[in-house]
Structure 1
Amino acid sequence: MWMTRVLSASLLMLGAAAAPAVADSSPSPSASGDSAAPAAAGTSFRTATEIEQGRTATANGSAGDYLYWSFPADSGQRPTVKATVKLPETHAAETWQVDVYDGLRRRQSCQYGAQTRTAAAGAASVELTCVLRTVRAWSEQWANDPLPGTYYVRLTVTDLTTGDLGLPVDTELRVDSKDIGGAAAVDGSLAEPLVPGIAVRSEAQESQSESGDASDSAVLSSIEPDDGWSSGWWSDRWVWTAIGGVLAALAGIGGYALTRGSGRPSRVPPGA
């Protein structure tokens, strides 16, 4: 009976500790069409428009243009990029594609989603989706795993007729992430996130500290997660590890209680 009470109390305590971690892992909803979201897109990697996750960015362009955005992604997140292209009333069939690159400008493959779609003639719009792999805190140099840092989104048309080239289009882009938690935890982390210009800034800051100059150095991408980089160091992995340890200790105590006997001396046979 006492073992049951101890086990129940331990599970209740660990469940209460795990509740905040589970609540933090769910993404917070954000209304689309936020007035603070950018209403333009860049035309190259260097001029990519910075956007925050959870906000819908809009841009006007022409069929045939390359449209670029950038967003930050931290370890443990699995970003989902959704793009919508509103087409003119009259047009022929055309194919649109959305590509995602990391801070090293390595093209990242989509885990699933319609990355390329063909809009039929006269279609009002086309929707594209790219769900990336989970961002890892560390990876081998030869691997192409997604790592913490800046990610670039490129939206363009890959197949259209000459008569439709240059027709005006309206685009919407939104990036949301799911926090995978301890399931994606690895032993290791990057010294710095893959943000263009951050290494140059670090070297400049060191030289400035030696010379006494406190002026800031330019960084090509200044946007970062709300809680800073590597904000997901705490995950449910810690909670479940603690639960496993407590259950193992209780199992050991229970096994000992069942096998140690009553503690009374053994019965001496008559005539001994």
Structure 2
Amino acid sequence: MRCTRVLSAALLAVGLAAGTAAADSSPTPSPSGSGDAPTRAGTSFRTATEIEQGQRATASGSTGDYLYWSFPADAGERPTVKATVKLSDQHTAQTWQLDVYDGLRRRQSCQYGAQTRTAAAGTASVELACVLRTVRAWSEPWADDPLPGTYYVRLTAVGLQASDLGQPVNAEVRADAKHIGGPAAVDGSLAQPLVPGVAVKSAQQDGDAADGSKKHAVLSSIEPDGGWSSHWWSDRWVWSGVGAVLAALAGIGGYALTRGSGRPSRVPPSA
């Protein structure tokens, strides 16, 4: 009876842990409204148009332009960037490329996805995608791991012919992220996310300005819902707790099985 109770408690703990882990790894919800979606793109890193995760951004441009957007990505997230380029009716073969850079402007490699595609002559559109590696909360200085902060998206055509330069195009970009959870957790965190200008402070930051407000010279104003490191909960905590509970239950069960009834058997005296 006691062993049955121990087994039932262990199965309940494992079930709760599995449910929490599944909920923790669910995709990040996307904003439902699209009325404020950006309709233009920047032409450099400094002028990149800010977009939220799950927000669809559009822009009009010309072949040969560099189109830039930026979005936030927090620790434990695996960002996915997708782009669709609608081409003009008359064009030769064009190769389009989607690049993603982190807050230090380091080009991040894609785990999978069609980062570069060639549209044959007369093709109406071309679709690109890049699934980044999971963003880590901390990394060695020499490593090239994705870190929390602002990420830049650059969309452009490469190797264009002279006849295709300046042709009108329409681009559509969307950035999403899936929270990975415990498997991506590390022991450490950055002091500040890699947001351009986050360490630049005005002379009046420590005191009130003339209008009673505090000024911060931050070049990027976007951040994840709930702030940076909003995914402070990790299913690693759950599995660690489950392991401790199972170890304790195993010890109790082993002791109950080996101690016997607790009363020594009486041996009848010999005749």
TM-score (normalised: structure 2): 0.91
Distance 1:175 1:265 in 2: 71
After the TM superposition, which parts of structure 1 deviate over 6 Å for at least 4 consecutive aligned residues?
A: none
Mark the CA change 1:219 to 1:56 in structure 2 (over 3 Å): closer, same or farther.
Answer: same
Q: How many residues are paired up?
A: 271
C-alpha displacement at 1:84, in angstroms?
Answer: 0.6
- 1:153 and 2:153 matched: yes
Partner of 2:12: 12
Percent identity reads 75
- Output aligned runs, 1:130-209, within 5 Å: 130-201=130-201, 204=203, 207-208=206-207
User: Which range is displaced more, 29-38 or 147-156?
Assistant: 29-38
Distance 1:133 1:102 in 2: 12
CA contact (8 A) 1:147 1:194 kept: yes
Consecutive unaligned residues in structure 2, runs of 5 or more: none
Distance 2:267 2:255 in 1: 25
Partner of 1:240: 239
Partner of 2:256: 257
C-alpha displacement at 1:38, in angstroms?
Answer: 0.6
C-alpha displacement at 1:228, in angstroms?
Answer: 0.3
C-alpha displacement at 1:264, in angstroms?
Answer: 2.9
Distance 1:100 1:215 in 2: 33
Q: In structure 2, what residue type is equivalent to 1:244?
A: G
Q: In structure 2, what residue type is equivalent to 1:198?
A: V
Distance 1:86 1:4 in 2: 64
Question: Secondary structure at the residue paired with 2:231?
Answer: helix
Partner of 2:112: 112
Partner of 1:48: 48
CA contact (8 A) 2:102 2:147 kept: yes
Q: In structure 2, what residue type is equivalent to 1:263?
A: G
- Output aligned runs, 1:92-107, within 5 Å: 92-107=92-107
Partner of 1:82: 82
Mark the CA change 1:29 to 1:206 in structure 2 (over 3 Å): closer, same or farther.
Answer: closer
Mark the CA change 1:99 to 1:33 in structure 2 (over 3 Å): closer, same or farther.
Answer: farther
CA contact (8 A) 2:99 2:115 kept: yes
Could you say which structure has the higher helix fraction? 1
Distance 2:37 2:26 in 1: 22
- Summarize deviations over 1:114-162 as a string: whole Å, max 9, x none: 1111111111111111110000000111111110000000000012211
Mark the CA change 1:145 to 1:28 in structure 2 (over 3 Å): closer, same or farther.
Answer: closer
Distance 1:123 1:30 in 2: 31
Distance 1:21 1:229 in 2: 21
CA contact (8 A) 2:135 2:146 kept: yes
CA contact (8 A) 2:17 2:242 kept: no
CA contact (8 A) 1:22 1:236 kept: no
Distance 2:270 2:204 in 1: 92
C-alpha displacement at 1:221, in angstroms?
Answer: 0.3
Mark the CA change 1:112 to 1:17 in structure 2 (over 3 Å): closer, same or farther.
Answer: closer
Mark the CA change 1:200 to 1:62 in structure 2 (over 3 Å): closer, same or farther.
Answer: same
User: What is the alpha-carbon root mean square deviation over aligned residues?
Assistant: 2.6
Distance 1:29 1:86 in 2: 27
Mark the CA change 1:195 to 1:129 in structure 2 (over 3 Å): closer, same or farther.
Answer: same
Partner of 2:217: 218
Distance 1:259 1:221 in 2: 64
User: Which range is displaced more, 246-255 or 36-45?
Assistant: 246-255
Distance 1:32 1:122 in 2: 34
C-alpha displacement at 1:237, in angstroms?
Answer: 1.3
Question: Secondary structure at the residue paired with 1:231?
Answer: coil
Consecutive unaligned residues in structure 1, runs of 5 or more: none
Distance 1:161 1:206 in 2: 51
Distance 1:69 1:135 in 2: 18
